[in-house]
Structure 1
Amino acid sequence: MKRFFKMRWIAALLVVVGAACFLSFKSGDSRSFQVAKNLDIFNSIVKELDMFYVDTIDPNKTIREGIDAMLYSLDPYTNYFPEEDQSELEQMLKNSYGGIGSVITWNTKLKRSMIAEPYENMPAANVGLKVGDILMEIDGKDLAGKNNQEVSELLRGQVGTSFKLKVQRPGTEKPLEFDIVRRSIQLPLIPYYTVLDKNIGYINLSSFSGNPSKEFKQAFLDLKKKGITSLVIDLRNNGGGLLDEAVEIANYFLPRGKTLVTTKGKVKQASNSYKTLREPLDLEIPLAVLVNSSSASAAEILAGALQDYDRAVIVGNRTFGKGLVQTTRPLPYGSTMKITTSKYYIPSGRCVQAIDYKHRNEDGSVGRIPDSLTTVFHTAAGREVRDGGGVTPDIVVKQEKLPNILFYLVNDNLIFDYATQYCLKHPTIPAPDKFEITDADYADFKALVKKADFKYDQQTEKILKNLKEMAEFEGYLTEASEEFKALEKKLTHNLERDLDHFSKEIKTMIAVEIIKRYYYQRGSIIEQLKDDDDLKEAEKILTDPVKYKEMLSVPAAVKKGGK
């Protein structure tokens, strides 16, 4: 009997201790409990779906979509990469992959992928693939019905492996076959650098992935040998990459021991400071940095650090505003997660992050932090700069809006098709700096557009239609009918007029498309620099030493005010 009561007492004690532990777990470590609870619920949901859902579910697809949705609710930069997608992650981090070295695009008429841009000195270009080649077969496997993503995966593979590619080239009757050996494809980090007029150096830096600091140093020293007296660094459309590479390049122009970036995260290893560790290459050469709304992440670190230390004049348009840092974490079964671990702060103490992903609107959307909620910081010299919205240039250049018709001409592949026809007739063309689209060339292009029965939406027609409907709804249409008729007559769709009116912009786009067929990315950059408003402003400030110095100093009126 005593043994029975003793066992009951022990059992009761275990229940009490268990309840106490449970209560302690819930109250003392509620976050851990919530995580464990929801993981258990998620696991149960998947099991129930797999057992009872009316159709058989694909666990890889269903769970992957759940993971992607969960991560996207945090920010667009936290991503999951299963084992089969590791090459995509490697390309992102190293700016390289195993493949043929070409951009492919979709031919809407033929419903097949085609070569859009082979990279210079890469397998696609070396074997003779040309822009416009329609991809028919890979090792005898028909590519019909496969989208660009699927074809891209077939073109990529282990470095050193080979395959046979069959293409249909415009202007040839029989398909062509090429034996291609995959190589490690390194995307151009510095596709072009040169000496401009008045001894101004120019370096186009396309990415901070891989090892661009080494190439940048070589380009800069080469330009110095050629006698440059100032330098333009073009970071437009540079989406970023490795933080260390941005620090290394900034160090070429800033003294040793300067703090360039500070990262702050939840865990200790996510918080760090990055300083210039080496002696600089040049502390005196005047610098201008070109940026636009697609300059992001590491590009903003370089531009922002040079601005905060008053070392360069920033020219162009406000940058993207990505002040978040990602690192990779290994996961089971060969998978990886790229996760946002910290925010970064440039020398003035500001963070350039423009979007607050933590505080979303009721519909789940996010918006940029309004300028009214940003904070003023100061550069080393005392100039005012702000956080919360990218890097604002010292010289803001008004962006000319591209005409609506140009979007549709590109989208319908009409400029692409004309360039393909042009190249069939012209085995060679002049150097990019001397090439131009003649009036006769443009007349041929216009004939191609008309023959294609080209149609496009005019925004004025849409807006006028909406206005007319609203006027009718509110009872104004009868009184304003004559005015509406006059407007409709003036805004009548006129293809000939639009092609002539926007000929300058369209000719430039045609020239870029043609030149890159012969001179690759380098050639297209040369063409675009011919009439570049950002570059003009940079040249203007770099050739005016007094104005340059004034721009990087605090105005005398501000100094007197005792700021």
Structure 2
Amino acid sequence: MMKLKNKTVLVLLASVLTLGLLFSFSNKDDKLFSIAKNLDIFASLIRELDSYYVDEIDPEKLVTVGIAAMLEELDPYTEFIPEENSDDFRLMTTGEYGGVGALIGNRTGINMILMPYKGFPAQVGGLRIGDEILMVDTVNVREKLTSDISKLLKGPANTPVMVEVKRGDDTLSVNLTRKKIVISNVPYYGKLDEQTGYIKLTDFTTNASADVRKALIDLKSQGITRLVLDVRDNPGGILKEAVEIVNLFIPKGKEVVKTIGKLESVNAVYKTTKTPLDKDIPLVVLINERSASAAEIVAGALQDYDRAVLIGRKTFGKGLVQTSIPLSYNSQVKVTTAKYYIPSGRCIQAIDYSNRDENGNSIAIPDSLRKEFKTKNGRIVLDGAGIEPDTKVELKSYSPIAYSLVARNHVFDFGTEFFRANKEIASPREFEITDKIYDGFIKSLEGKEYDYTTYVEKSIEDLEKYAQKEKYYDEIKVQIEDLKKKVSHSKEQDLVTFKQDIKDALLEEIVSRYYFQEGIIEASLRKDAEVEKSLEVLNDRSRMTKLLIASNRSK
């Protein structure tokens, strides 16, 4: 028999262990016996492949692929985390890592700085948005993946790292000292007007509730008497932090969420344990289709207690709880162990991963199976499809030309050029894209490609395709060609017609160069439909009261 290579020793060990399990269970109906049997088959398969397959194989890679394929049969949230990814997982759960404090990415094939976080080494050391990353210490990173560059930039706090960047025609070497990077869950808070506070909550990592508490205390010291809490685009995170945030607004001893799973050990009821910071302040919570998990717990619990008016769009619908379980060799698995239920008794999970259609795809819970529940005031709410707002605001659509200009990085590049030419600008709330700036942007587009298909042109293309498929094309060919000519877009005219869309994109891009992430958020609030609706509701106390009463609920 062929001599086995060293890299299969672990596989053999696994095989021996599973054989031990096989001898422990003789009843083939026993699930443990089935698990042990199939583990042994899997270990034997890897061993024989390593011995006999015509080319060299990487057993570790094969096993990882096998694990991923196995977990795909469950849900998207159950995942294997190998040792090399543990730092990224820690960042997701704690918001902490050792590094330089910068978001990097690839734009049109160039690795660059997309956002240095204010006050951290990259920003303090002078790195800017748009800087092309050439070297990290002695490693040329021009052709590397951004994930590999990120790993090179990270490291223990207080260790040095050299970053070489290209800025325009200049090449700069910047010596930085890595620090412990703690990303705040509240990147911005401030006043919308003299009475109204605003808190942007982007995550639920460690200290999320402390971040919100600190912001609210500061805003109250500035005299606010009402609040907008924004959890749009918040993917969720730590359950405990969600409970603590709800506790800022509702009394001690109230149930916020309970988890129910297969094992008794995962069943739990989470209640508020502290005196609230403010149980009476008029409150609006902003939600959208990317508000998920812990964000939905906060919004849903406050809705169930009729403590806040929810404005925006229906949330994502993630009502599943994950638990991290350590495995051997410093790996771990994040596994779905329970579903959570908010105070009214509803679970807002939108996808049933235990049932699949004929194509093997998980299915959404049909409306016919959604159940009715009631809030504290008797308002009817439904389970099975996320949290629905009390007042809906439609998603803003942007013109195709604006999408094209952003996607092709023309807006990004102009922001970089503008920053190099202008030392400072007005505050995010005061800065405007003047016609002079806009004309400069249009001039910068000369010779650049930014073609696109309008919505009407796409509809005509679809009509032509289906006409050809269904043999009607010859009969309506003349009419289709006539339509094409009539709706053929003019890029020059669209630059005028959709000027405001493009100005809005330019505004946020330019502001980001001077005021970073906080500035983008602050600038975007000026023309935010959900924020405008929030102020409208908060300014009309009788309307707000009616929204929270069963017989007068308005969508």
TM-score by length of 2: 0.92
Aligned to 2:492: 496
Matches within 5 A, 1:100-115: 100-108=100-108, 111-115=109-113
The alpha carbon displacement at 1:195 in A equals 1.9
1:294 equivalent to 2:290? Answer yes
For residues 186-217 of structure 1, what are the alpha-carbon distances to aligned partners after superposition, in whole Å with 9 as ceiling and x for unaligned? 12311111122250111111111120211211
Aligned to 2:186: 190
Distance in 2 between residues matched to 1:453 and 1:335, nearest whole Å: 47
Letter paired with 2:34: Q
Aligned to 2:359: 363
1:205 equivalent to 2:218? Answer no
For residues 258-286 of structure 1, what are the alpha-carbon distances to aligned partners after superposition, in whole Å with 9 as ceiling and x for unaligned? 01100001111111000011111112111
8 Å Cα contact 2:379/2:553 also seen in 1: no
Aligned to 1:117: 115
Distance in 1 between residues matched to 2:241 and 2:190, nearest whole Å: 22
Distance in 2 between residues matched to 1:323 and 1:138, nearest whole Å: 41
8 Å Cα contact 1:112/1:143 also seen in 2: no
Letter paired with 2:48: E
Aligned to 1:338: 334
The alpha carbon displacement at 1:492 in A equals 1.4
Distance in 1 between residues matched to 2:453 and 2:35, nearest whole Å: 51
Distance in 2 between residues matched to 1:358 and 1:470, nearest whole Å: 37
1:225 equivalent to 2:221? Answer yes
Aligned to 2:442: 446
Matched length: 534
Aligned-CA RMSD value: 2.0
8 Å Cα contact 1:112/1:146 also seen in 2: no
For residues 201-241 of structure 1, what are the alpha-carbon distances to aligned partners after superposition, in whole Å with 9 as ceiling and x for unaligned? 11111111120211211211111122211111011111111
Aligned to 1:54: 54
1:312 equivalent to 2:308? Answer yes
For residues 10-55 of structure 1, what are the alpha-carbon distances to aligned partners after superposition, in whole Å with 9 as ceiling and x for unaligned? xxxxxxxxxxx99995657431222112111111111121111221
Per mean C-alpha deviation after superposition, the further-off stretch among 376-385 and 68-77 is 68-77
The alpha carbon displacement at 1:502 in A equals 2.0
Matches within 5 A, 1:447-526: 447-526=443-522
Letter paired with 2:147: Q
3-state secondary structure, aligned to 2:398:
coil
Aligned to 2:69: 69
Aligned to 2:31: 31
8 Å Cα contact 2:203/2:237 also seen in 1: yes
Structure 2 residues not aligned, in runs of 5+: 1-20
Distance in 1 between residues matched to 2:534 and 2:122, nearest whole Å: 36
Aligned to 1:43: 43
* 1:246–1:472 distance in 2 versus 1, CA, 3 Å: closer
The alpha carbon displacement at 1:363 in A equals 2.2
8 Å Cα contact 2:116/2:123 also seen in 1: yes
The alpha carbon displacement at 1:310 in A equals 0.5
Structure 1 residues not aligned, in runs of 5+: 1-20, 559-563
For residues 92-123 of structure 1, what are the alpha-carbon distances to aligned partners after superposition, in whole Å with 9 as ceiling and x for unaligned? 11012111111111132xx3310011111011
Letter paired with 1:343: K
Aligned partner of 1:174 among 170, 174, 181: 170
8 Å Cα contact 2:259/2:339 also seen in 1: yes
Letter paired with 1:252: L
3-state secondary structure, aligned to 2:173:
strand
Per mean C-alpha deviation after superposition, the further-off stretch among 256-265 and 438-447 is 438-447
TM-score by length of 1: 0.91
Aligned to 1:8: none
Distance in 2 between residues matched to 1:446 and 1:421, nearest whole Å: 13
8 Å Cα contact 1:264/1:272 also seen in 2: yes
8 Å Cα contact 1:512/1:527 also seen in 2: yes
3-state secondary structure, aligned to 1:164:
strand
